[in-house]
């Protein structure tokens, strides 16, 4: 999992807010470039930067600061706030910024988001900031009637690869990330999800890593000393702890479901190695009980299963895998293995 130290800029200074309230802004560091260099020295490869003035005024108010950080460090800089036009996107991406984040524009002008993604691909990320599940815009001053996962699905359809999700109620509070909503959005789309808001310490980094998030943004916890960048990076680099799913047995059932229709396609078994391969490759891997070996679905038939999400049940001993199925899932040639009716008679 990638760790993104955060620098938010207001009036040219490094600040943090509480729950997105501009009235709570307080300075947390003196010089943005020096702060970025300290993150780089701690091992960071990326930095997350936000133009708070720009988000409110719909303009690139603090543009020069972000360009300086990109030019004067080796960090990959992602920037959000106030980006409302292709000219703004072009300006940032042609001046050393690695990725730009579209927030309000994605809600109010989806055609602009579509155009930007078509031109720049994965150098465009979508920032989805939610208050009680509903998407907020204009520097979090307005709340829309769009549910956060609905926007995520719409953005995935236009080719978005990276989504930054913030629960505004957790931002700057040090109360922990909203794992429930992060799991919901991570399951709803196949995009890389970066968690933002509420990180309070190393335990939250571990929880986000084990939840399968692509990245985690940390701001206030770093500035208060509750989280050290080097420690967060070290934990983010570790493999996810999947052992709890195999505490009862070395093999657990995996139900495979077609994401687009909800149809159950098959049931197979996984051990920890096959689950790790599935998560790493995005294709289903299972353990054959009869042959005593790993097998990749579709390796022989070409009927591959592209994994969109993996979920555990309430007892941590069964998996639900939602996929895009190529061809038939069953070796008989039927689309689903569950095609033989047994019958059911209601009692009187």
Q: Which residues pair with 192 in a beta bridge?
A: 162
Q: Would you please indicate which residues are annotated as catalytic (active-site) residues? A: 8, 129
Cα(315)–Cα(223) distance, integer angstroms: 38
Q: Which residues pair with 266 in a beta bridge?
A: 256
CA dihedral (182, 188, 194, 200) in degrees, to 10, reads 0
Tokens of residue 332, six digits: 């008989």
* CA nearest neighbour of 211 among 193, 188, 233, 197: 193
Cα(8)–Cα(52) distance, integer angstroms: 7
Q: Evaluate whether 161 touches 121 at the Cβ level (below 8 Å).
A: yes
- What 8-state DSSP symbol labels residue 250? S
Tokens of residue 30, six digits: 């003196």
* CA nearest neighbour of 112 among 148, 84, 91, 143: 84
Tokens of residue 340, six digits: 């033989």
Distance between alpha carbon 64 and the CA centroid of its chain, in Å? 28
Task: Write out the DSSP string of 43-99.
Answer: T-SEEEEEEHHHHHHTS-TTHHHHHHHHHHSS-EEEEESS--SHHHHHHHHTTT-SE
Distance between alpha carbon 56 and the CA centroid of its chain, in Å? 24
Give counts: helices (H), strands (E), the chain. 12, 18
* CA nearest neighbour of 229 among 240, 218, 237: 218
Longest CA–CA span in the chain (Å) reads 79
């Amino acid at each position: 999992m990638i760790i993104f130290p955060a620098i938010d800029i207001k009036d040219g200074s490094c600040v943090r807010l509480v729950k997105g309230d501009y009235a709570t802004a307080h300075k947390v560091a003196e010089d943005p470039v020096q702060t970025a260099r300290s993150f780089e020295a701690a091992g960071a490869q990326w930095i997350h930067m936000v133009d708070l003035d720009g988000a409110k005024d719909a303009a690139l108010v603090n543009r020069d600061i972000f360009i300086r950080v990109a030019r004067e460090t080796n960090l990959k800089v992602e920037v959000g706030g106030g980006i409302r036009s292709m000219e703004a996107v072009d300006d940032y991406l042609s001046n050393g910024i690695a990725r730009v984040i579209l927030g309000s524009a994605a809600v109010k002008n989806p055609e602009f988001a579509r155009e930007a993604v078509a031109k720049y691909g994965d150098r465009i990320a979508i920032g989805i900031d939610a208050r009680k599940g509903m998407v907020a815009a204009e520097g979090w001053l307005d709340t829309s009637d769009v549910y956060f996962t609905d926007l995520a699905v719409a953005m995935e359809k236009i080719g978005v690869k990276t989504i930054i999700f913030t629960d505004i109620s957790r931002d700057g509070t040090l109360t922990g990330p909203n794992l429930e909503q992060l799991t919901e959005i991570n399951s709803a789309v196949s995009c890389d999800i970066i968690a933002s808001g509420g990180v309070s310490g190393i335990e939250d980094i571990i929880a986000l890593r084990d939840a399968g998030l692509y990245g985690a943004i940390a701001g206030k916890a770093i500035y208060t000393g509750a989280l050290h960048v080097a420690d967060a990076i070290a934990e983010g680099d570790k493999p996810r702890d999947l052992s709890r799913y195999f505490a009862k047995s070395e093999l657990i059932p995996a139900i495979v479901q077609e994401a687009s229709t909800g149809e159950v396609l098959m049931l197979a078994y996984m051990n920890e190695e096959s689950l790790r391969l599935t998560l790493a490759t995005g294709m289903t891997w299972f353990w054959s009980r009869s042959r005593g070996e790993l097998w990749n679905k579709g390796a022989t038939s070409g009927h591959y299963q592209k994994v969109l999400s993996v979920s555990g049940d309430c007892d941590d001993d069964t998996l639900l895998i939602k996929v895009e199925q190529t061809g038939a899932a069953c070796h008989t040639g039927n689309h689903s293995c569950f095609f033989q009716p047994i019958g059911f008679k209601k009692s009187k």
